[in-house]
Amino acid sequence: MITDPRIPDPDGFYAALLAAHEDLSETHSADLNARLVLLLANQCGDQAVLLACIRAAAEDPTTTATP
Amino acid sequence: MESFAFAPAYELPVWPFTTPPELGRTETVRHPIVIVGAGPSGLTLACDLAQRGIRAVLLDEDDTVGVRGASSRGICYAQKSLEIFERLGIYERIAAKGITWSFGRTFSGEQEVYSFNLQAESVSRQPPFINLQQFYVEWFLVERILELGLTDLRWKSRVTGIEPLSDGVRIGIETPAGRYTIEADRLIDATGANSPIRTQLGIEAHASRSTDRWCISDVRFKKPLPVERWTWVDAPFNEGRGVWQHLMADGVWRIDYQMPEDCDTARISQPEVAGARLREQLGPGVEFEFVWIGPYGYRDHLLDSFRHGRVFFIGDAAHVVSPFGARGGNSGIQDAANLGWKLALVAQGQADDALLDSYDAERQPAAKQNLEVTSRSARFLAPRSPAEHTLRRAVVALAARHPFARALVNTGRMSVANDYPPTPQLPDGGRTVQNLPLRWADGRETTLMRLLAEGTQCLGLWLAPTRAEAKTAMDATASLPLRLLAIGGDSGLPALQADETLMRHLGLHDAGSFVLVRPDAYRAATLAHATPDAIAAALRTALALDHHAP
């Protein structure tokens, strides 16, 4: 899993992501994110990296309930 | 309200109970092999043994095939099972009666989102799948067993309890003529999902039950539909829930509807309610009659070990999975074929008890894999949380537009002959060899299954060995159950024609390379440059024979 910065225009990417979510309901936003995750996963195409990304995402302290 | 007709019930064969010779005798008779349960796995095992010339006692509490209503239960027989049936001599009957198919389509709403053609991967004489009501398969097996004449088939014989002994098993049996006791060197439990033997021995099955509910409608109608496996993730004619549609023998379609989790199972299987669902799917004006309606919820379990001393568990007694992908019955049939040749070699004194341990070492991981695969399908079909629903919606939406997402649509991954992990008997793991069409050097046709149907021996397929090597190898393996065949060349061995499909499927390239095929058509070893000693060693390894023996 690459954690060094690789996105050429981070602010531009983030703005585009927000724009895609603009005016969407919570459900539609969740749907969009899910589609995006799947599309990006296929760009990556590396099983080990995908699993590492899932683990890294699940570890985020702000979204993981402590047991 | 529209009313719906039922077809007349199937008339199933009944076999007579005959009073066993042991009844009323004081001394206990010992049998080498006793199988309990005449379902697909127990019958396949009895038939496999009989085909090898091995006697067995087969006990069943009933005197017919199928269960009440006859039509529900397994319908899809996978290529590996069909190849086993070819070897046992009932494939032609199954093919004549059943529905051959290889194409599957998955829909979401009105749109096709995924399809597969299993024929593309096949080099076998048998098709990827034949659909046939389970009771027909059991019926053909019973008739074949009776024809072979070596199995002591005892109907109306319920096992009341067993007692493991140091060198065998004592079995209590109840019959219409009274109770009696026999002993077995080895007992095979094929009594199915609710195995009383497993319960009596207190073996943990790690069982779980799904809350997902389905309702089967087996139905005959006059509407031409393609002979393909059609599934809907979310059918518009079933309130956005899953549906299966599949043809089997006698023009009967199995249509399986996913129901709401909290449904009233009695109500959803009433003919008027099931009929209204079907009317919604078929449209007005299509006449139909029901053969069977039945609600079900699936369950699963898996034993940690399929062997407990002298007791072996096969089929549903050992493992149960959800029905998606037809991995239940097919797995039981393959359990039987895995165990059959091993029991035969032990019975004939050509292998030791150690070989029987490999049954568990191979089939338990296969069942574990089937459980994992079917559980993933079940979870795709019945998402458990809002997040799972969201992800599935994303998969289905993308699948309609992008090929990559179609691979994520999971309405069941069809049964395969599972690869076996590396074990002492299979140092490189094991892989099925399909029923390749073959040709002898003189042009006569044969198949791998036909070669394996004669006796119980491994096949050694050797690419163009020299005469000297062939002679030495014959001598080195003379006392072992091996049939040595050449592919091409001029070695003096019986020879098959070299053929590109054969070589590719076996992974043979250069002259002198060699493949060892077991009696259950699994590849036990591949030798890039075989020597007579290496062939003998590979065979001894595959049969769990002592390497240091002279």
Give the span between the Cα atoms of B414 and B258, in whole angstroms: 19
* Residue from B344, B345, B338, B350 nearest B150 by CA: B344
Contact (CB, 8 A) for B245 and B253: yes
Inside any domain, residue B518: yes
Which amino acid belongs to residue B488?
A: G
B394 with A31: Cβ contact below 8 A? yes
pLDDT in the model for residue B4: 86
**For chain B (length 550 residues), average pLDDT per consecutive 10?**
84 94 92 98 98 98 77 87 98 98 93 91 96 96 98 98 97 97 98 96 95 93 89 95 95 95 92 93 91 91 98 98 94 98 97 97 98 96 96 96 95 95 96 97 97 96 96 96 96 95 94 97 97 97 74
With CA atoms as reference, the chain A residue closest to B398 would be A35
* Mode of pairing for the β-strands spanning B288-296 and B5-6: parallel
Compute the nearest-CA separation of B388 from chain A (Å). Answer: 10
Predicted complex: ipTM over 0.90 = yes
The radius of gyration computed from the CA coordinates of chain A, to the nearest angstrom, equals 14
Q: Quick one: B158 and B250 in the same domain?
A: no
Residue A37 contacts B where some CB pair is shorter than 8 Å: yes
Partner residues linked to B301 by β-bridges: B320
Q: Quick one: B193 and B237 in the same domain?
A: no
Q: Quick one: B453 and B362 in the same domain?
A: no
- Run of H or E including A26: helix A26-44
Query: How confident is the model over A49-63, as pLDDT tens digits?
Result: 999 999 999 997 776
B390 with A42: Cβ contact below 8 A? no
Q: Nearest 5 degrees, angle CA B364-CA B369-CA B375?
A: 125
Q: Quick one: B147 and B271 in the same domain?
A: no
- The residue range of the domain holding B447 is 431-542
Residue finishing a domain among B270, B297, B324: B297
Residue to substitute from A31, A33, A47, interface B, most B β-carbons within 10 A: A31
Q: Where are the alpha helices (DSSP H) in B169-328?
A: 196-201, 265-268, 271-282
Q: Quick one: B515 and B529 in the same domain?
A: yes
Query: How confident is the model over B404-461, as pLDDT tens digits?
Result: 999 999 999 999 999 999 999 999 999 999 999 999 999 999 999 999 999 999 999 9
Q: Quick one: B361 and B459 in the same domain?
A: no
Cα four-point dihedral sign B326, B328, B331, B336: negative
Residue finishing a domain among B297, B320, B343: B297
B254: three-class secondary structure by DSSP: strand
Residue B400 contacts A where some CB pair is shorter than 8 Å: no
Q: Quick one: B59 and B168 in the same domain?
A: yes
pLDDT in the model for residue B72: 62
Inside any domain, residue B164: yes
Contact (CB, 8 A) for B173 and B300: no
Inside any domain, residue B2: no
**Which chain A residues are closer than 8 Å to B398 by Cβ?**
35, 38-39
**Which chain A residues are closer than 8 Å to B390 by Cβ?**
27, 30-31, 34
Total domains present in chain B = 3
- Asked whether the whole model's pTM tops 0.90, one would answer yes
Inside any domain, residue B281: yes
The enclosing domain of B220 has a CATH number of 3.30.9.10
The enclosing domain of B360 has a CATH number of 3.50.50.60
Residue A31 contacts B where some CB pair is shorter than 8 Å: yes
Inside any domain, residue B438: yes
Inside any domain, residue B59: yes
User: Token match 């006392």: residue?
Assistant: B479
Give the span between the Cα atoms of B251 and B103, in whole angstroms: 18
Inside any domain, residue B421: no
**Which chain B residues are closer than 8 Å to A27 by Cβ?**
390
Compute the nearest-CA separation of A8 from chain B (Å). Answer: 26
Q: Where are the alpha helices (DSSP H) in B261-385?
A: 265-268, 271-282, 329-347, 354-381
Compute the nearest-CA separation of A33 from chain B (Å). Answer: 9
Q: Quick one: B243 and B258 in the same domain?
A: yes
Contact (CB, 8 A) for B169 and B163: yes
pLDDT in the model for residue B2: 78
B390 with A37: Cβ contact below 8 A? no
Q: Quick one: B307 and B438 in the same domain?
A: no
Residue finishing a domain among B381, B413, B445: B381
Inside any domain, residue B75: yes
**Which chain B residues are closer than 8 Å to A43 by Cβ?**
none
- Run of H or E including A15: helix A10-21
Q: Domain-by-domain residue ranges, chain A?
A: 27-61
Query: How confident is the model over A17-66, as pLDDT tens digits?
Result: 999 999 999 999 999 999 999 999 999 999 999 999 999 999 977 765 54
Residue A58 contacts B where some CB pair is shorter than 8 Å: no
Name the DSSP class of A30: H
pLDDT in the model for residue B548: 47
Residue to substitute from A28, A33, A42, A50, interface B, most B β-carbons within 10 A: A42
Residue A54 contacts B where some CB pair is shorter than 8 Å: no
Q: At what angle do helices B532-542 and B467-476 cross, to 10 degrees?
A: 40
Residue B393 contacts A where some CB pair is shorter than 8 Å: yes
Residue to substitute from B396, B398, B409, interface A, most A β-carbons within 10 A: B398
Contact (CB, 8 A) for B339 and B188: yes
Give the span between the Cα atoms of B160 and B172, in whole angstroms: 5
Residue B390 contacts A where some CB pair is shorter than 8 Å: yes
Residue A30 contacts B where some CB pair is shorter than 8 Å: yes
Query: How confident is the model over B459-475, as pLDDT tens digits?
Result: 999 999 999 999 999 99
With CA atoms as reference, the chain A residue closest to B390 would be A31
A37 with B394: Cβ contact below 8 A? yes
